Amino acid sequence: MSESAQPGPGEGPTRPVSVSLHEGTIAALKERTGKRGMSAYIEGLVQRQLERERLRELIEDAEAELGPADAAAVEAKRAMLRGGAAAPADSADVA
């Protein structure tokens, strides 16, 4: 990595930042993570959100270039990822 390049998500040294959260959110975080696990938990959440947003951008770019994905093919792949068979077509769609 060159000196001018910014580290990517999850890279580089950690440093404190200030964020504002609702009291109920803080209480739920502390309950789930303990006081000392909050930073790692929030770091993971932010990294996953950034990944989702980047993936959405890649999908939008691909759809702009190639057109929208076939809904039936997407559902079949989604079913495979869940470990099941593709859902049958809606009876209204069957000829």
pLDDT reported for residue 7: 93
Is there a domain that residue 17 lies in?
Answer: no
Domain count, the chain: 1
Going from the first residue of the chain to its last (95 residues), give the mean pLDDT of each consecutive group of 10, the final group possibly shorter: 78 93 95 90 96 96 94 93 69 44
pLDDT reported for residue 67: 94
Rounded to 5, what percent of the chain is helix, strand, coil? 60, 0, 40
Domain hosting residue 76, numbered range: 23-87
Question: Does pTM surpass 0.95?
Answer: no
